[in-house]
A and B are shown apart, each in its own frame.
Chain A
């Protein structure tokens, strides 16, 4: 069984909500990423989403765009990400890792070369932000053949018909984008999210995880009441941005923030 499915099965048995942090690989520099991943797991992460830096992250807000720029300044590339995951797996063989990014760097490497190396490194899933299921006919099977799960986004504007198509293609979990807009934007309405998730539950057996807009223990706990998982990105990446000149301070801060969310979710 894929590590992602395994993890959700365990959480379900325990009656707990998945906590899924996102970091852009290579931010603020490549040598820190693996340490951050371990710190996140210590603070209670269930799955790690590792961002592949891209020059033009159109679906992300300024916080993640800046993270991409910092990572790219250090020359972070896909081969480095595979090395990071391999190193992470030397100590942690259980926590699922999902690569999240844009299609162009993957196309440039080649679908098969990418999937071979991702599998060998110990990656479990791939979320290609700018590849809706309509465009996934070629890449999806390449991933599947290597046991890599394709994670897809669902938006508040997604129709029921589309949500059906997406969940038919999707594996692992559905990433529900809780706000209309880009990552890191402001407000959050839990009732509205609940209303949107209800029809999705009828269409899909996949765990529903909500991302975009989760900032602290309180927002995590609120969303955790209506979803199987919460995804937290910009608030963590914002901490890295605040500490670029003092990288030693980053891991403790990441642990504080994620730890508070873990506590709030498990309370």
Chain B
């Protein structure tokens, strides 16, 4: 295949310098993720899943090796460029939802749009997205604390989608939800992948990983199976 991968990890290592000595969380990992892939990253706790997630989300930079997003090396980007890449190219869905507590559901979804366009949303995109994930108009005026876990995760998905990112990065998206709600959330993600998004799931739950087309197994910071 001559197509440029959307994400390429090339010999990426991440070493944390702790008082008890250096800890290698990722150990020379190489990995290509193509556009419209549905990838699950699995592994027991301590295997480097979170570190991998932080690398893919450009929340952190590799200690050594190179990470390319759309062919561009993250290492050579400024902090501001990385911030804009996070804003425009990646949608984050977290286990704990991480909605902004001071803002209503609607405002949480609108927020990344404001970050990008520096003005309030006049296109109705934020409202439409909320509706598409099943949050009605009345609920969208509620604060996150007034919503159930499933509702919060739906709001978080709408927020992740609002700037039309290529990549959806999901860190245990169903981890804080009951089974039934979890399945509903996974159905939304499957649907989004079908519509062209690249979905990366980080999970330790094999049942959730089954939704993915490709599973990468991590152990002690290395890929043991992919």
Q: Do A and B bind each other?
A: no
